[in-house]
Amino acid sequence: DAKTTQPPSMDCAEGRAANLPCNHSTISGNEYVYWYRQIHSQGPQYIIHGLKNNETNEMASLIITEDRKSSTLILPHATLRDTAVYYCIVTVSNFGNEKLTFGTGTRLTIIP
């Protein structure tokens, strides 16, 4: 599986858009980009995933560059409850039999 690189920490003002970057320069053509987050003392929570097209759901948007070597997770209107560690994961999607390799992620702090 390709490895990912994320900044260790970021701050964002409450109400602003939080943009979390991820580099995955060795990603293969059949590998997906997944984002999870982990709020303190809880298990990780799935946010979104994509292959090559941009994706949006009720939680966030995922922007993947055309060469697929990097992506950005966007939380459009960050709230204090979005304070968490965010993980960018690249993995082959094998119809649900994927293995997720979590790195150390980005610790996002939302500032009031």
Partner 1 sequence: DVKVTQSSRYLVKRTGEKVFLECVQDMDHENMFWYRQDPGLGLRLIYFSYDVKMKEKGDIPEGYSVSREKKERFSLILESASTNQTSMYLCASSLWPYNEQFFGPGTRLTVL
Report the residue number, 54 or 101, with the smaller CB distance to partner 1.
Answer: 101
Q: Answer whether 77's CB lies under 8 Å from 15's CB.
A: yes
Report the residue number, 14 or 55, with the smaller CB distance to partner 1.
Answer: 55
SS3 content of the chain, % helix, strand, coil (to 5): 5, 45, 50
Nearest approach, Cβ of residue 84 and partner 1 (Å): 13
Please give the residues from 35 up to 54 whose contact with partner 1 meets the rule CB under 8 A.
Answer: 36, 41-46, 49
Report the residue number, 34 or 78, with the smaller CB distance to partner 1.
Answer: 34
Which residues are CB-contacts of 95 (< 8 A; sequence separation ≥ 6)?
Answer: none
Regarding 34 and contact with partner 1 (CB under 8 A), the answer is yes
Please give the residues from 77 up to 96 whose contact with partner 1 meets the rule CB under 8 A.
Answer: 87, 93, 95-96
Rounded to the nearest 10 degrees, how much is the dihedral formed by the CA atoms of 38, 83, 48, 28?
A: -70
List, in sequence order, every residue forming a beta bridge with 44; answer none if it has no partner: none
* Site for partner 1, rule CB under 8 A: 32, 34, 36, 41-46, 49, 87, 93, 95-105
